Structures are given as structure tokens and as C-alpha cells.
Structure 1
Amino acid sequence: MHGIEEVIVGRQGSAGLIRLNRPQALNSLTLPMIRAIASALSDFAADPSIASAIVSGEGERAFCAGGDIRLLHESGKRGSAEAETFWREEFRLNHAIANYPKPYVALMDGITMGGGVGLSCHGSHRVVTERTRLAMPETGIGYFPDVGATWLLPRAPGESGTWMGLSGHAIHAADAIHSRLADHCVASSDLPALIETICALPIATSADDVHRVISGMAFPAGESRLAANRDMIDRALAYDAVEDIQEALGQEAGDFAAETSQMISTRSPTSLKLTLKLLRAGRKSASLAECLNRELGACLGILYNPDFFEGVRAAVIDKDRNPKWSPASLAEVDIVAIDRFFVPPRPPLFEE
């Protein structure tokens, strides 16, 4: 094996292996990690002796808990270009994964959030386990679901993606499969055997061959809570204004609706309105690239949004879990302030 400390790159049999190696930080992504992953995937794609790529996280707690929020926070405070560079390279990596020419197997064992979703859910073969906790929790830090989530979430059944994006609530394996963010559930204890089996496949391996191997080791993920509450979710979260969604949730019976409403009420009002508008725009978009470019523009706007700095302070720096949002209510969020997030980035993320 060779590679930089935070990403271990190697090969076994016919597979190229990428292992995120920051277990103490829940394998959160740094810019050098993004560059190492992108380089490895490019090398694997060009190597005729490699049939597939397998991406996993070291340690038992997480596949990848997201991007390096502290770096983005510090870059924004300083007014440096680091945050923009990080987002540009991360989003290009997300796009490369979605268009990868060989089977791309993501082992989403443990916490899979934010940037971890971008590393996995755009792939061709997405494996969850009984330990998977998947979320796009960004509204809780004054941010919004990025890494192409505004393409993925609107393509989940009904309004389940809207529920994920606004609430930021973590979901388990069955919900991930229901939401079309994962394909198979395999026991975490079986992952080493799964890797061995894929690595032993011949060089002429196809996506169908990899699918058969994974499905042969998969087991039913159980009941999806999102599927069980699908009718309520589709009714209450169909609106294009967060205030209307909250009002609709308040009229629904049952603990799930009350829990959803309560969770949304703790999130940044600005982030909620921005997220909903991005999700609705993503639903009408023709491509992932279009969504990623729009997200990059919103990212650059986030660096001027006080809620992002306050959210990261409360969650990561002081860890008091008590952010003071500004403005503090949905009614106070100026629609013009939301429109500022929709300025296209220059240069665009992809060649036009």
C-alpha cells in the first residue's frame, strides 16, 4: 500500500482500494484527501488491470462525517480562497464519481454525512450496514445540503428528500435504500469478505457482476420509517414555503410529524428557506452538474452569512449546541437575502 497518511490507496486483485484514514476525526474530508481520492480514481480509471474501485472508511464509527467545517469557517473568517478551492475540488470529485466509468463501490458503514454522502451516494454500488447513520444535517449549522444533494434529494420518493434536507435528521439503512441513496444492506461484519470477493473478480468484471456479488451477501434492511410515514411526508412537505410546511406539520397527528416540526424549528431560518429553494430548483434541473454549479454559488454566498459562522461556533468550536440565529424567525428572513445566494459562480464549476 502507498498513499498519503489521511488516504490509503492500494490495490488487491482486480480492485483499486481507497481507505479514508482519519478515524479520530470520523474520516472528515480535508483538501489533501479530496485531491488524493480524485487522483486515485483517475489512476484506477486509466488502468486496464483494475476493474472496480472500492471506497471505505477506517475505524468502526464512520465512513465519512463530512467536510472539514472548521477549515471552511476559518477561511471565511479570514476572507481567504481556501473555502472556495475546497468546494470547487470537492464538487468536481462528486461529479467524477457520478460519471465514473468503472463500478464504484462505496461502503457506507457508520456515520455518513455531508461530504460523506457526496463520496458515496453518487456511486454505482452503494452499500449500507446496520451501523449506517446517514444525514445531510447542514441546516443545523447555518449551511445547506451540498455535494450534489440538491440533485439527489429531489429524486427520492415523494417529499422524503425534502424531509431529509430541512430536518437534517439521520436515517438508517432501510430509509437510505427507500430514499434511493443506497442499494444494498450488508452486515458490517461481512464487509471484509465482500471486499475480498469483489477483489477476486476477473478484470473483465461488469457492473452487473459486482451487483450480483453484493446482492448475494445482502440482507433485508427492515422497515423504513420514511416509507411508513410517506403519505404524511408527501402531504405536509409539498409546499414551497417553509412556513406552510410547518403549519401543515402542526395539523398532522402522530409523533413523527411533531418530531419533524420540532427538529425544523431548531434550524437556521435562513438555511431552511435557502435549502427549500435549492431543492425545488434541483427538482427542475437537467443534470447533476447544473445543481453543483448552483450549489457553489450558494456556498460563496454562505461566507457572508452570519448563521454559518454562528452555527459552526455552536456545533464545532464552543460546542454549546445553542446557536443564536440571525434573523431568528422564518418571518424575518428577507426573500431578497435568499436571492443573493443564487448568483452564479465565476468562473463556473464546469465549462459551459
Structure 2
Amino acid sequence: MTATGEPVLFGTSGRTARITLNRPRALNALNHEMVRRIDEALTAWENDPAVEAVVVSGAGERGLCAGGDIRAVHDDARDGDGTASAAFWRDEYRLNARLARYPKPYVALMDGIVMGGGVGVSAHGSVRIVTERSRIAMPETGIGFVPDVGGTHLLGRAPGEVGMHLALTGSEIGAGDALMCGLADHCMPSAALGAFLDDLAVLPLPDALARHVRPAPEAAPATQREWIDTCYAAGTVEDVVDRLLDHGDPAAKEAAATLLTRSPTALKVTFASLRRARRLGSLEEVLDQEYRVSCAALGTPDLVEGIRAQVVDKDRRPRWSPQTLGEVTGADVDRFFAPLGDRELGLAGPGGAPDTAG
């Protein structure tokens, strides 16, 4: 491993290469430098025959990664012109796409908190391991933003309307839910992760997994699918809220109450993003769409206000603009999906095919 003061650590152990996100005081939040360094390491290991698998984990006791460095995004959107955030997202989303197509096993230890950008560096991997401590979420609507890092692709493929519920509310899920939603592949005890890594250094991946994988807890949304599928199948966010309020299940009413605290603009754009993502073919096409949406969000008041309320001032009382769902027009939503011209991310090639060059 490199010096412990570095924001991301790299090393090798036997058959495996290791990435350790190393900003524990910031819950390993990703910044641009970390994304660049991870990409460089993946290039080196891709061509190293001694490396048979890559493992990503987080330093400290709290989790893998709480997301991107949104305080930096706040400052850039408020005081700058947004170019720094757009450049960060460009490289971050390209990394997300690369992880999904990495030619060697990419093993993500999704232990503890895994949110936002943390989902992006883990849930696109080929071997995704959750534990009894896993707390996974895409909480962007609470800061006036929209699920990104391929989150709308992942949640759009979840069973029924569970993904829409998670995208709009930002609710946390555990190990069983993550497996049910397709965000994870295996469950093992958190206490076994060290022994698993020791075994992975000397054993083939299937053998190392077989020693430590255990049954996951029951998926909570499986017992709630009736109201989730019924309510979130509505044609608009307003109708979703009405259905939730009218439903007899207390959990549905709780979901409605949560939605009414979120950014109305972010809710409507997230709703449209997920519906559109389901119609798009590849992760690359969805990331191209998410890049348009993210760049558009930099010019809206809700992103700065949401991060201010949740992270900067921490008063937890955002003043959204517009304040209600009814004030957010179709034209307001459509602007988030407008083409960017020569600033497009461009991951999908002609006809929507993945651009694998570079």
C-alpha cells in the first residue's frame, strides 16, 4: 500500500489487487483525484498477468463510500461555473462504465454505508458482496439532485417498481434487499471479510467465495411489493403521491410523507430519468443521459440549496424552488434532457452501441 495520507490506497496481495478508498473522516467520499487514480490503476492491472482479480473496499469502520464530494459540487455550483463538477462527473461516469466491462473480476466489498457514488464504484462490478452491516441508498432527491453514476440503470432493472420507490425516496436497503434488487450478488458476515480476502489472495475466486458466503436476510421490500408496484406505476409523481396517501399500508403513507420533503423538481426529473432509462439499451446510453441531467442540475437552485441544508448548514430545512410538484412543468423537466452538443459524455457510439475505444 502507498502512504496512508493518500485519498485512495493501492496494493497487491497474491492473486489480487486492492483499492482502498481512504478518506474515512469523510466516509470515503469520492473526489476527482481518486477517480483518476483508480482508473490509472485499473489500466495497469488489466495488463498485468499476475493480477487475477481487483477488490475495492473502504477504510475505517463506517462503510465503503457515502458518495461523491458534494460539498465541492456545492461550492462549484454556487461560486463557479460548474466546469469542475462536470469534469469530475465525466471521468466518474466513464469509470462506472469501465467497471461494468472490466475484463477481470472486480470484487466490491459493500460493507457498511454505500451511497451515491459509492454505489457507482461497487454495484457495476462483477462480484458484489454485501454484509449484515450494508446500508445502500441513492439519496439524491434529498439534495435537489437525481440518481446518477448509473443508478437509474441499476434501479430501472430492479423488480417491479421497487427501483422507482428507492430512487424517489432515497430509502436505505440492507443485504437481502440489495440481492433482490440486483445490486449485489453474495452475502457474507462482515467479520469474515478479512479471511475472505486472505483466501482470495491464494485461491480461485469461486473457492474463496464458497468458504464464506452465507444466506442473506429476508428482503424487506418483498413483503411490500403490492403497494410499491401499485402506487409507483402511476403516470405522474403527483399520482404516485396520491396513491401512496390513499393506500391502507402505513409504510405507503410514510413513503408519501418522505416524497413531500424532497425537491419537487428532482422528483419529477428522477421519475422521467428512470422511465427513460428502462427504454434505453445499455449502461453507456443511460450514463450519457445522466450526464445531461447532472450538468443541467448545476444551473438549478435546488442542488445548491439541498446540499446547503443537508451538508453545509445542516439545518435539514431546504427551501425548494419551485416548492410544489404542481409548479414543476413538463418544460422544466424536459430541459434536463436537452442535448449538450460538443459537451456530451458520448459513451454510447452510433446507434447507441457502447463506445469501447479508449
Residue 214 of structure 1 deviates from its aligned partner by 2.0
Q: CA deviation at 1:2?
A: 2.6
Structure 1 residue 304 and structure 2 residue 305: aligned? no
Residue in 2 aligned with 1:2? 2
- 1:1-352 alignment to 2 at 5 Å? 1-2=1-2, 5-77=6-78, 78-201=80-203, 205=204, 210-345=205-340, 346-350=342-346, 352=349
Q: Cα RMSD over matched residues?
A: 1.2
Shift of 1:190: 0.5
Amino acid paired to 2:112: G
TM-aligned CA deviation for residue 212 of structure 1: 4.6
Separation in 1, partners of 2:345, 2:196: 36
User: Are the counterparts in 2 of residues 125 and 211 from structure 1 also a CA contact under 8 Å?
Assistant: no
The one-letter code of the counterpart of 2:106 is Y
Give the Cα separation in 1 of the matches to 2:208 and 2:261.
Answer: 43
Corresponding letter in the other structure for 1:121: A
Q: 5+ unaligned residues in a row in structure 2: which ranges?
A: 350-358
**Greater Cα shift, 289-298 or 211-220:** 211-220
- Whether contact under 8 Å (1:296, 1:349) holds in the other structure is yes
Preserved contact between residue 106 and residue 123 of structure 1 (Cα < 8 Å): yes
Query: C-alpha deviations, 1:105-147, integer Å up to 9, x for none?
Result: 0001111000000000000000011111100000000000000
Q: Do the aligned residues in 1 keep the contact of 2:82 with 2:298 (CA within 8 Å)?
A: no
Give how far 1:215 is off: 4.2
Q: Give, in whole Å, the separation in 2 of the partners of 1:15 and 1:32.
A: 23
1:255 Cα deviation after fit: 1.9
**In 2: Cα distance, 1:214 partner to 1:282 partner:** 32
Structure 2 distance, partners of 1:273, 1:69, is 21
Identical amino acids, percent of aligned pairs: 47
Give the distance between the partners of 2:232 and 2:209, measured in 1 at CA.
34
What is the CA–CA distance in structure 2 between the aligned matches of 1:123 and 1:80, rounded to whole Å?
A: 29
Match of 1:63, SS state, is: strand
What are the Cα deviations for residues 181-208 of structure 1, in whole angstroms up to 9, with x where unaligned? 011111111100011111112xxx5xxx
Conserved 8 A contact 1:7-1:33: yes
Cα distance, 1:344 vs structure 2: 2.3
> Offset at 1:80?
4.4
- Please give the alpha-carbon distance, in whole angstroms, between the structure 2 residues aligned to 1:156 and 1:64: 22
Q: Is the 8 A contact 1:240 1:277 kept in 2?
A: no
Please give the alpha-carbon distance, in whole angstroms, between the structure 1 residues aligned to 2:119 and 2:336: 22
Structure 2 CA distance for aligned equivalents of residues 334 and 251 of structure 1: 24
How many Å apart are 1:350 and its aligned residue? 2.8
Deviations 1:273-331 (A, max 9, x none): 00000000000001000000011011111011101110000011100000011111100
Instruction: Letter of the 1:23 partner, please give it.
Output: P
Q: Per-residue displacement from partner, 1:228-263 (whole Å, max 9, x unpaired)? A: 111211111112310111111112112211111111
Aligned letter for 2:346? F
Residues 25-77 of structure 1 deviation map (CA, whole Å, 9 limit, x = unaligned): 00000111111111111111111110000000011101000000011111112
- The letter for the 2-side match of 1:349 is L
User: Is contact 1:135–1:164 with CA below 8 Å preserved after alignment?
Assistant: yes
Q: Which amino acid aligns with 1:31?
A: H
Q: State the distance in 2 between where 1:166 and 1:269 align.
A: 10
Q: Confirm or deny: 8 A CA contact 1:184 1:215 kept in the other structure.
A: no
| CA–CA distance in structure 2, aligned partners of residues 197 and 311 of structure 1 | 44
Whether contact under 8 Å (1:240, 1:276) holds in the other structure is no
Q: Deviations over 1:64-96 (max 9, x none)?
A: 000000111111121141101100000000000
Deviations 1:150-197 (A, max 9, x none): 111010011110010000011111111111101111111110001111
**What's the secondary structure of 1:54's corresponding residue?**
strand
Secondary structure at the aligned position of 2:309 is classed as helix
- Distance in 2 of aligned mates of 1:250 and 1:231: 15
Distance 1:328-1:127 versus aligned 2 partners, 3 A rule: same
Read off the aligned partner of 2:167 and give its amino acid letter. G
Judging changes above 3 Å, is the alpha-carbon distance between structure 1 residues 80 and 328 closer, same or farther for their aligned structure 2 residues? closer
CA contact 1:29–1:115 (8 Å) conserved in 2: yes
**TM-score normalised by structure 2 residue count:** 0.94
Q: Distance in 2 between matches of 1:265 and 1:70?
A: 24
